[in-house]
Structure 1
Amino acid sequence: MAGSPEPHNRSLPSVWTAGDAAANIQEALDALETYRKKDPNKVVVRFKAVGNAPIMKQNLYKITASNRFQAVIQFLRKELGWKAGEPLFTYINLAFAPAPDDTVSNLFKSFATEGHLIVNYSTTAAWG
């Protein structure tokens, strides 16, 4: 066909060779090992009530950065004296509900405000 580009006659190099596969596996194992290590650092979490949720007397806490957000939810339930069946909705910066398996460290790195991870809590769904 006139005007169509010429086909490339070059072959693509092989990406996976035996040596590369071993290096990639080792790199993946190293990454998993790094992920498994507990981060001993602490993150300042500020709890803010939304709607008719009770206001906490103390709202600043230091929480281990390697904890999952689920630990923050459990801690908040304990501080408020709420049982597992009672509704509790949590949000980061009045914007979104984090997944329980997100790490506090990742949330802090991505969404910290003035050195705090702001966790809003409510008894009813406030945002989607």
Structure 2
Amino acid sequence: MEAGDIGGQREPLTEPNTLTEAVTEKKELKEIISAKKEKDATKVIVQFRAIGNAPILKQKLFKITASQKFQAVNLFLRKELNYAPSEALFLYINSAFAPAPDEIISNLYKSFGTEGFLVVNYCTTAAWG
């Protein structure tokens, strides 16, 4: 008898499909989808603080999706201030440094969040760093 033989009849050998094996039941699939939604739904509270002659926002606290890049904060603030892409706008974390546009907001919050906020200072001329 060879491997795969059952009572004289040969059972077809199939290669396991890891994706199919990983998600075999609807329950597992639903858990994966709900975990993905929870991850995407995580928000970080960003507090904007004007520096120098930068216009002051009426509302200073905003919730931004944690999985977005810092560039999204820049674009959001430009929209709120009605600033064109050609106008200078400098953003800093905790009055200390300007993060790279591809930094993930949740990582910045974990490292530099204070009092439950990610403090973003903004100005129209270079101030720090």
The two structures have a TM-score, normalised by structure 2, of: 0.69
Residues 1:113 and 2:114 are matched in the alignment: yes
AA matched with 2:40: D
1:96 aligned partner: 97
Q: Percent identity?
A: 68
Instruction: Provide the rounded CA distance (Å) in 2 between the counterparts of 1:60 and 1:51.
Output: 19
Q: Secondary structure at the match of 1:39?
A: helix
Any idea what the Cα deviations from partners look like across 1:34-89, whole Å, max 9, x if unmatched? xxx65320000000000110110001000000000000000000000000000000
Instruction: Provide the rounded CA distance (Å) in 2 between the counterparts of 1:126 and 1:112.
Output: 20
> Which of the pair has more CA radius of gyration?
2
AA matched with 1:76: L
1:71 aligned partner: 72
Q: Secondary structure at the match of 1:43?
A: strand
1:84 aligned partner: 85
AA matched with 1:86: E
Aligned pairs for 1:21-40 (under 5 A) are 39-40=40-41
Instruction: Provide the rounded CA distance (Å) in 1 between the counterparts of 2:99 and 2:40.
Output: 20
Q: Secondary structure at the match of 1:109?
A: helix
Structure 2: tracts of 5 or more residues without a match: 1-35
The alpha-carbon deviation at position 105 of structure 1 amounts to 0.3
Q: Secondary structure at the match of 1:53?
A: coil
Q: Secondary structure at the match of 2:97?
A: coil
Runs of 4+ in structure 1 off by over 4 angstroms are: none
**RMSD after superposition:** 1.0
Aligned residues: 92
